[in-house]
Structure 1
Amino acid sequence: MNNFTSFHFKEFCYQVIDELGFNKPTPIQEKVIPLINKKRDIIGISQTGTGKTHAFLLPIMNNINTAHDSVQAVITAPTRELASQIYQNAKLFMKYNPQLRVSLIVGGSDRNKAVQKLTTQPHLVIGTPGRIKDLSLEAQALKITTAKIFVVDEADMTLEFGYLEDIDAVAGKMADDLQMMVFSATIPQNLRPFLKKYMKNPETVEINSQLVTTANVEHILLATKHQERYRVLKDIMATIDPYICIIFANRRSEVSTITRRLREDGYKVGEIHGDLEPRERKQMMRRIQNMEYQYIVATDIAARGIDIDGVSHVINMELPMEPNFYIHRSGRCGRGSYTGVCYSMYDSNDEKNIAVLERKGIEFKNVVLKKGQFVDLGEREKRKKRIKQPTELEKQVQMIVRKPKKVKPGYKKKRKREVEQLVRKQKRALIREDIKRQKKERARQAQIAKRAMEED
């Protein structure tokens, strides 16, 4: 049939694979599916668009025993949008195996209706951590103690939104022999204690996909040179006229501050970050989808998995801490046949990350803003490549340190050290002379002032 045959799935799974048009497993599917079948705990590190969802959905659906009316697997996602996306993928399995029962458990819906629907338990639960905790621990309508598999999708985003306590509470009520899988773009330090608590010798699967941005995107660097970044942002905004522009900041607090200052300056601005309440987030997403905002300020993680049509520009207040996040940011614009521009403010601390991105094939243009115009500065590292010319003092010292007729290995380094030592010595001597001169000058000025006072 196709390269999925080696996994020995049931017929309904192959029907799903055929409808989706999958020809062969993606790298993450190839590695994760056999591990799930071996009941291993897994930490999967991969970006979106790698086939991650079906890497866990295919084996989970294949292994569900429809003869048992009990919850057999739980999958959490940090937002309703992401949970709904997973649920839509799961519904296709029910098309080819009507005996499967999958429930979407998310906030924002009628709680009493959700409880009533659980009179018959689903085989698979997909939902947000808070609502799953509520219906299983508070209402005790959802019986998760029977589940043998627990998947935490977008774990770094779950941490960012403050849902790790809910996940902890849910996992704490599950079986001791629970098979846990955690999928994330990154594994933040604050997530590690949780992983250590619940996972038994997990297998880490890291998919280092060589992500490349669309050729329609122009990448522009602006050196801040100790300027206030908000001032630079305002200068960029005064120069461009975007259809929709996303402004990225690395921290939630920065997103809030930038949004507040822009609103105070008269801009109508949207914001997406982990500190928004669920109701605020829902309203914000509706307004963004209705294209009410020309500018949207966001964190990386909060913006993940959300499609915003018509983004023409991206502005990075600073480069992201993870180089691959830059590719996701810049990939927000220039989609389809449209062009896009990604502006990034940077300083000397970002050189390492810029070099990583350049090795991935991203070509940056180095510019500065002058009188409302972007002026191309040419090659970014021109100063680094410039050959240092010796000073007059260094030339004189090199003449003093003579080259011997016969040279030994390491001579050039030794001569360079001798020259540098003599240069330092000569500089110190010049400084001492200058100090003496200044002292004499001050003493002379003091004598002149004293004589002037005596004459008066």
Structure 2
Amino acid sequence: MKFKNLKIKKYIQDALVDLNFHQLTPIQEEVIPKALEGQSIVGKSPTGTGKTHCFLIPIANELRPNVKEVQAVIIVPTRELGQQIYDELKKITRYSPEYIDLRLYVGGGRRDDEIKRLELSQPQVVIGTIGKIEDLAFNENLLKIHTADKVVIDEADMVFVPEDINRIDQIFALFKKDIQSLVFSATITDELSRFVDKYLNKSVNIDLSGKKISKDSIKHVFIKTKNKDKNKVLLDLLKIMNPYLVLIFANTLEEVDDLSKFLGNNGYPNAKLDSSLKPRERKNVLSRIKKGEYQYVVASDLAARGMDITGVSLVVNYSLPVDIKYYTHRSGRTARFKDTGTVISLLDFDDEKYLGKLYSRGLDLYFGEIVEGMFKETKYQPRKKNKYDEEIEVLHVKYPMPPKVKPNYRKRRKEKIAKETKQIKRKRVEDIYKKKAKND
């Protein structure tokens, strides 16, 4: 389906032509017509598939420029994503014959100026983070979001984190009961599922996160680094791959800093992206990356949370994220839209369960190895479960996690499971030796 076939205002069509938008992506083809009809939608699709315009086009089309009140609210997890969405909506509405008041409310803004402006007038479209919207709409009662007809939650799995659930409830209590809700996410977390059940029981669910999308665009490779110098493996890998632009992810600020210095000292000048940077510094680094000044970028998961960096041909997980949803977000930095890309993870532990979860999501997994300056791949095959694996899985049923957790219970539960897991693994080794001795 082509954008010119959508029943939308001419000024939006003109802007889309300028942006060289012609063919809708699969998620856009599924979502935009339904959103234009006013349906509430929960859309699940990998990053880089065009989700942003699934809600920006319907919002722009339904705006009434002569009505000077909040008509749409877009909630985002980070200031960077908020800025990107604000910039994109500016592009789409640039040819509007009447002025449209778009306002961005994220951390780092001048609060006094924001309050003064709100006392004079209301924006027509609000783009902001949970904390900022809660502050201005709930605490200060200055941002009048109760008039909104549409609410969007982008990168929803990053918005719906346990510590922000109460904030979300407070904000949604201000909206109309029949408000059109558009929720987009790469993964569906437990918190997000509970929200959908509570507020969006009449929504249309659209899931395009399936096997075909991931398999066709991204190759997932794992290099075992156990008993190897991980830094040397990384240097050898970068030398062989010579990517156009690579994002190298680490799990902690300290690891990002150490890795950035190590690469710089070994002839790989790089940009560093993490939460320690001030907003102005982060904006400057992103600008330089987009201008092509850097080939190598070392990042924390901040860069996986909706930041749009085009041209990434390779993603390297120096450390695998503990939470598998971050693997999805990191991977989504490459193979955006119709591009292809590779994700290479340095595997310093043999975690069959982790790989099994990725495999069950329809990803084609490969093991990689660097041999005499050449990169060789073998296809991953999931290991069949044995009785010991099943015994370990039963432990999580044996020690369940109740809805209300008492102090220190989580820690004691983890210790009990770890202790019994160790005993099961030890028994497995003993059984192997007994069997071997018997055969000898």
Q: What range describes the TM-score normalised by the shorter chain of this pair? A: 0.5 to 0.7
- The 2-side partners of 1:197 and 1:51 are apart by 27
- How far is 1:154 from its partner? 0.9
- The 2-side partners of 1:167 and 1:135 are apart by 14
Letter in 2 for 1:157: M
- Of stretches 160-169 and 38-47 in structure 1, the one that deviates more from structure 2 is 160-169
**1:353-432 alignment, distance < 5 Å:** 364=366, 366-367=368-369, 379=378, 431=438
Inter-CA distance 66–199: structure 2 relative to 1 (3 Å threshold): same
CA contact (8 A) 1:255 1:271 kept: no
CA contact (8 A) 1:94 1:101 kept: no
SS in 2 for 1:51: coil
- How far is 1:143 from its partner? 0.9
- How far is 1:282 from its partner? 5.7
Inter-CA distance 356–148: structure 2 relative to 1 (3 Å threshold): same
Aligned to 1:112: 112
Q: Which structure would you say has the larger RCO, counting Cα contacts within 8 Å and 6 or more residues apart?
A: 2
SS in 2 for 1:210: helix
Q: Per-residue CA shift, 1:313-341, capped at 9, x if unaligned?
A: 72453488368657535659xx99xx988
- How far is 1:153 from its partner? 0.7
- How far is 1:108 from its partner? 0.9
Inter-CA distance 381–132: structure 2 relative to 1 (3 Å threshold): closer
Aligned to 2:309: 307
- How far is 1:62 from its partner? 1.6
- The 1-side partners of 2:318 and 2:332 are apart by 12
- Where does the alignment leave 5 or more consecutive residues of structure 1 unmatched? 385-426, 435-456
Letter in 2 for 1:178: I
Q: Per-residue CA shift, 1:177-235, capped at 9, x if unaligned?
A: 222111111111222222222223221112246246879x9x753235xx37xx65234
Aligned to 1:296: 298
Aligned to 1:51: 50
Letter in 2 for 1:180: S
- How far is 1:75 from its partner? 0.7
Q: Per-residue CA shift, 1:110-131, capped at 9, x if unaligned?
A: 1111122222212211122222
Q: Per-residue CA shift, 1:237-283, capped at 9, x if unaligned?
A: 4645668864435xxxx43564477599898898766xx47x65664
Letter in 2 for 1:85: Q
Aligned to 1:236: 233
User: What's the Cα RMSD here?
Assistant: 4.5
- The 2-side partners of 1:193 and 1:233 are apart by 40
**1:252-263 alignment, distance < 5 Å:** 254-256=251-253, 258-259=255-256
SS in 1 for 2:81: helix
- The 2-side partners of 1:262 and 1:8 are apart by 50
Inter-CA distance 294–192: structure 2 relative to 1 (3 Å threshold): same
Aligned to 1:96: 96
Inter-CA distance 191–431: structure 2 relative to 1 (3 Å threshold): same
- The 2-side partners of 1:206 and 1:88 are apart by 27
- The 2-side partners of 1:67 and 1:378 are apart by 60
- The 1-side partners of 2:188 and 2:8 are apart by 31
Q: Per-residue CA shift, 1:329-356, capped at 9, x if unaligned?
A: 5659xx99xx988354273445546767
- The 2-side partners of 1:25 and 1:293 are apart by 30
- Of stretches 113-122 and 374-383 in structure 1, the one that deviates more from structure 2 is 374-383
Aligned to 2:332: 328
Aligned to 1:222: 223
- Of stretches 240-249 and 125-134 in structure 1, the one that deviates more from structure 2 is 240-249
SS in 1 for 2:213: coil
- The 2-side partners of 1:48 and 1:191 are apart by 17
Aligned to 1:412: none
- Of stretches 189-198 and 322-331 in structure 1, the one that deviates more from structure 2 is 322-331
Q: How many pairs does the alignment contain? A: 369
- How far is 1:306 from its partner? 4.2
CA contact (8 A) 1:246 1:298 kept: no
Aligned to 1:12: 11
Question: Which of 197, 208, 213 does residue 210 from structure 1 map onto?
Answer: 213
Aligned to 2:62: 63
CA contact (8 A) 2:248 2:296 kept: no
- How far is 1:67 from its partner? 2.9
- The 2-side partners of 1:32 and 1:200 are apart by 17
SS in 1 for 2:141: coil
CA contact (8 A) 1:272 1:299 kept: no
* Structure of greater Rg: 1
- Of stretches 9-18 and 295-304 in structure 1, the one that deviates more from structure 2 is 295-304
- Of stretches 69-78 and 7-16 in structure 1, the one that deviates more from structure 2 is 7-16
After TM superposition, the score normalised by the length of structure 1 is: 0.64
**1:172-187 alignment, distance < 5 Å:** 172-187=173-188
**1:329-344 alignment, distance < 5 Å:** 331=335, 342-344=344-346
CA contact (8 A) 1:213 1:330 kept: no
SS in 2 for 1:96: coil
CA contact (8 A) 2:257 2:272 kept: no
Are 2:38 and 1:36 equivalent residues in the alignment? no
Letter in 1 for 2:183: V
